Amino acid sequence: MLALVRRLVVPFLAVIAACASNTMTPKEKKLDDALEAAGVRAFPGGKRLKKLTGHAERGELEDGFIVMLTADTCYAIVGVGEAPIKTMSVLVTSPIGSWIAKTKEPEPRPNLRVCAKVSGPHRIGVTVAGRGDYLFGVFGDEPPAVSASAVASAGAPKPSSTASAPAATAPACAAAGQTTAFHRSVAADHRACKSDDDCITIKLDCGALECTGANRAHRAAYSAPLDCRGYDGALASADCDPQLGFFAPRCQQGCCVSARVAP
């Protein structure tokens, strides 16, 4: 009888302990809610993909974490901290170690927009000045692999699903680019959009002479880089990469484009 009681009680206590360990304190919950609110403002409609929890004790701290980012996809990195945390800054480096984005100057609640050039593990380095708890989060669209699994497990998408939304305005768009050596094309129904946040930039040729936009729901179709081996043609004087600030993906008349940014 005693053995039976042990078999019943011990697992029950283990479950209670696990639940207790996952419960946030009121202070932790308040900070977590603040991070979520900041992420929603920075990337409307996105999800929290990664979170860093830390504590600074000596007034100056360098921390960091790794997150998988997808090529030609943009994300928002935000940070929040307790009142004693004075300023924080962010530096994002690519899988090969080169930096691709950073905050202009330290601030109490940094908000950095970053667009990955290649798919892979990116390091989010943070510097914290002050003392107390802090959180950093990466917000963006759900990764393609996760979305595909979700669709496969749920069966055929419903007519009102996000995946079918771009097709509703497809007739307003035209195909872009060409399918020849050192070029690629973007299908007409992949360019439909409702707002700027729907769009990403697509380079159509190896010289970056032509660029357009595509709905981020179809980014997986253009995630592979162009095969530019042997290309010796002209090169654009102003790259359309959104991080450089000359061009940005925009939704114009229901179609994603790469638009020149006014100085």
User: What is the set of domains in the chain, with CATH numbers?
Assistant: 26-140 (2.60.120.380), 165-260 (no CATH)
Least confident piece of the model among 14-23, 50-59, 74-83, 84-93: 14-23
Looking at residue 241, its pLDDT comes to 74
Most confident of 19-28, 41-50, 171-180: 41-50
Query: With 50 as the cut, is the pLDDT of residue 80 above it?
Result: yes
Least confident piece of the model among 56-60, 137-141, 163-167, 237-241: 163-167
Q: Residue 64 — φ and ψ, nearest 5°?
A: 180, 170
Average pLDDT, the chain: 78
User: Mean pLDDT over residues 210-221, rounded?
Assistant: 88
User: Mean pLDDT over residues 134-149, rounded?
Assistant: 72
Q: Nearest 5 degrees, angle CA 41-CA 46-CA 47?
A: 110
User: Mean pLDDT over residues 115-142, rounded?
Assistant: 89
With b for 16 or more beta-carbon neighbours within 10 A and e for fewer, the 226-250 pattern comes to beeeeeeeeeeeeebbbbeebbbbb
Cβ-in-10-Å burial (0-12, 13-18, 19+) of 21 comes to exposed
Looking at residue 144, its pLDDT comes to 55
Looking at residue 149, its pLDDT comes to 41
DSSP state of 157: P
Looking at residue 34, its pLDDT comes to 94
Least confident piece of the model among 107-121, 181-195, 230-244: 230-244
Looking at residue 182, its pLDDT comes to 85
Least confident piece of the model among 47-51, 86-90, 144-148, 243-247: 144-148
Query: With 50 as the cut, is the pLDDT of residue 150 above it?
Result: no
Query: With 80 as the cut, is the pLDDT of residue 174 above it?
Result: yes
Strand, helix or coil for residue 207: coil
pTM, to two decimals: 0.50
Confidence of residue 238 (pLDDT cuts 50, 70, 90): low
